[in-house]
Amino acid sequence: MREEISETTTTLFNRYVKKWKDGGGKVVGYTCTYVPEEIIYAAGMLPFRLRGIEATSTSIGDTYYGPVICSFPKCVLQLAGEGKYKFLDGAVICNGCDSMRRLDECWRKASEDYEGILPSWFYYYGVPHKVADYSLKWFVEETKRLIDSLEAHFGVKITDDDLKKAISVYNKGRTLLKRLDGLRIMDEVPISGADALAVIIAGTAIPRDEYNKLLEELLEELEESKERITGKKRLLLGGSVNDDVSLVELIEETDAIVVADTLCFGSRSYVDLIEEDGDPLVAICKRYLTHSFCPRMFGYYKERFRFLKERAEKAKVDGVILQNIRFCDLHGSENGIFERDLEAAGIPCMRMEREYGPLVETGRIKMRIDAFLERIS
């Protein structure tokens, strides 16, 4: 089972997506945790989070983006230009950050030179950066427009009952992942940080009903397992988008284990549930808009620091590693403040800037991790 899950972390067109497509199912890609997967699920389609894995170059990404920008969306565009995302029937681009917002225009422009790389349904979805009554009202209307466009293009109908079922299914998955978090913070840990990240990432690339069943089976296996990891430095990994399991493996090659995280592909994506009473569309919009764990949301630093500090203390970590992709203004800036406040609270912290995908500097990163572990010993 772990091998099947692990496949989804290194392969875009994995066996689950292939099976879904072979059965006549539609796949809709999305860029950010602020895109409601429940909407796509309620339409009877597979939500698939866009990632930059399998990229071995950024030549296409550099052409349309330029060099001084986050390498994550550049790798996504690179794969699109190479035709790796031709299995998508649609895609939703969101303004998670300015670099990801530009993926909308860069992908459209690249499609003029690389024929057939743009999905037949390609939609830009705006998400407010502030939480207020007026922004929630606007966001509900924006999400209605998303639903209308989805229904019109694919000839489907999304009912309130469909949305309620989707909310229930995704809430169950989030609750199961919280159980996984509970196992990770035990004194004797039954799963490595790299394997845990692989399990979480799999949820973005597998049909949710099937994923929930796999997750339940895995949790039962872990809870009964006699194999435990002990005696290593306990770390929390936080910061910008990381779907690269090999980064966590690199950390854990040393005398360390990642027992908690506050990553975009990680715990902060499932920490809050959707209310299952009342209007399902409003409930979905309320959850996603008030999901303040990403620095894209203005005015919530204190809440994010509290979340980070509480997770670090609950997991009894020896230190925190805050990574961000180079040119990430949001996490790069906030990680500096996190470092200051964590150190003031007596929690050792290391900030690390890196590149995504084919440009990862393994030797430099390992040297910095080794130095950090030596400091906290």
Does residue 294 contact residue 219 with C-beta atoms inside 8 Å?
no
The domain spans of the chain are: 12-157, 161-376
> CA-to-CA distance for 340 and 322, rounded, in angstroms?
12
Give the pLDDT score at 297: 95
Q: Which range is least confidently modeled, 40-49, 118-127, 179-188, 240-249?
A: 240-249
Position 328, amino acid? C
What single string gives the DSSP state of each residue in 320-337? EEEEEETT-HHHHHHHHH
User: Which CATH architecture is the domain 161-376 placed in?
Assistant: 3-Layer(aba) Sandwich (3.40)
Which two structure tokens, joined as six digits, stand for 285?
């919009």
Does residue 261 contact residue 270 with C-beta atoms inside 8 Å?
no
Give the pLDDT score at 357: 75
Domain 12-157 matches domain 161-376 at the CATH topology level? yes
Q: Which three-class secondary structure state does DSSP give residue 353? A: strand
Higher pLDDT, 116 or 377: 116
Residues 122-130 have a mean pLDDT of 97
Residues 57-77 have a mean pLDDT of 93
Which two structure tokens, joined as six digits, stand for 1?
């089972």
Give the pLDDT score at 135: 97
Residues 212-218 have a mean pLDDT of 95
Q: Is the pLDDT of residue 359 over 70?
A: no
Which two structure tokens, joined as six digits, stand for 63?
């052409």
Q: What is the pLDDT of residues 16-61, one digit of tens each?
A: 999 999 999 999 999 999 999 999 999 999 999 999 999 999 999 9
Which two structure tokens, joined as six digits, stand for 323?
């990574």
Does residue 164 contact residue 180 with C-beta atoms inside 8 Å?
no
Smallest Cα–Cα separation from 324: which of 124, 97, 128? Answer: 97
User: Which pLDDT band holds residue 2 (cuts at 50, 70, 90)?
Assistant: low
Give the pLDDT score at 95: 96
Domain 12-157 -> CATH class? alpha beta
Strand partners for 123: 92
CA of 222: how far to CAs of 135, 177, 187, 225, 282, in Å?
A: 42, 13, 14, 5, 37
Give the pLDDT score at 1: 58
Backbone φ, ψ for residue 189 (5° rounding): -90, 130
Side-chain half-sphere CA neighbours of 301 within 13 A: 10
Give the pLDDT score at 248: 94
Q: Hey, what's the torsion of the CAs at 35, 41, 46, 51, to 10 degrees?
A: 20
> CA-to-CA distance for 51 and 147, rounded, in angstroms?
24
Give the pLDDT score at 337: 96
Strand partners for 124: 93
Give the pLDDT score at 360: 63
% of residues, the chain, pLDDT over 70: 99
Does residue 160 contact residue 31 with C-beta atoms inside 8 Å?
no
Residues 139-155 have a mean pLDDT of 98
> CA-to-CA distance for 97 and 255, rounded, in angstroms?
35
User: Which pLDDT band holds residue 89 (cuts at 50, 70, 90)?
Assistant: very high
Q: What is the pLDDT of residues 243-279, one digit of tens each?
A: 999 999 999 998 999 999 999 999 999 999 999 999 9
> CA-to-CA distance for 76 and 84, rounded, in angstroms?
9
Residues 128-144 have a mean pLDDT of 97
Q: What is the pLDDT of residues 274-325, one digit of tens each?
A: 999 999 999 999 999 999 999 999 999 999 999 999 999 999 999 999 999 9
